[in-house]
Amino acid sequence: MNDSHVSQKSIQLLKDLTQADAISGHEFEVKSIFRSRLEKAGDINLDRIGSIFCTKVGDSEAPRILLDSHMDEIGFIVQRITSSGFVKFVTVGGWWSHTLLAQRVNILTKHDKVPGVIGATPPHLLDKGKRDQVMDLQDLYIDIGAEDQRQAVEDFGVKPGCAIVPVGPFLPLKNPKLFSAKAFDNRVGVALVIETLEQLNNHPNTIIGCGTVQEEVGLRGATTIGHSTQPDVAIVLECPPADDIPGFDSDATQGKLGNGCQVRLFDPTHIANPRLADFVIQTAEEHKISHQIAIRQSGGTNAGAIHKGHAGVP
């Protein structure tokens, strides 16, 4: 991110959104920010699965243009507490177990956030064969400092079903253009939806800005939002990974950090409407907006579900 083109107000919004704890199915903190920022910008509604959307009518009720962003982040759910007070968990969304060891987390109880650290059997106590293997998720646990199960449950309030969220402070890096935080996927998209609806005036269409739920576990919010909002066209705002990294073929890079947004034309879940894609690219070129073209062999976004909803949505 280049903060020479981004206001401090926008940076603060992104900080607030990334520091909100909102794994799939528990998007309440992000939803609260969305509502508070947009309640004066248009009509706020929710669908029955929990997605929130703000409708802003311009000079005409049609076409209805949906700006979608998902609110949830990947995380974990408490499965059980051992007799010794350690927390066993299941993953919510896609995780590599490589990244989990020593990860700090917060367990969200009814009244508090309980800090903990993901651990496993130390390498000193493993035979060489296991030391050289990727740690199995079943072998991981969360240490919350509880002396036993009773203390974890009765004193700390940790119970099966509690959401668990990674800790990732919003950190400006030495390069002033860049920041580190958790949940840029997809709080960047949520921030874009919020600021677009706040700033958009005198437009000829009906704009619907949406924060969808449960994208990370199967595009579930996106499956219902098309029926709830009945859009004529949709633009999905996502935060895909940059691929200008060590170990990746530089000739194959389609998402270089700092080179502008990606316009995704294809992934296994969705093929962009050619006319809409051409319009977006032509508009970017005319206004000298940096952009990159992405064709992906894997992954997907809410577009994979939204385009199949309602009567079909380009």
Give me the phi and psi of 40, to 5 degrees please: -100, -5
Q: List, by residue number, the catalytic residues.
A: 215
Q: Letter for the amino acid at 112? A: D
Query: How far apart, in whole angstroms, are the C-alpha atoms of residue 109 and residue 105?
Result: 13
Integer angstrom CA distances of residue 204 from 62, 98, 183, 199, 273: 8, 49, 33, 14, 22
Q: How far apart are CA 226 and CA 219, in angstroms?
A: 12
The C-alpha R_g of the chain, in whole angstroms, comes to 21
**What letter does residue 168 receive in the DSSP assignment?**
-
| 166 within 8 A of 105, measured Cβ to Cβ | yes
Per the structure block, which two tokens stand in for 210?
A: 């949406």
> Is the preceding omega at residue 186 within 30 degrees of 0, hence cis?
yes
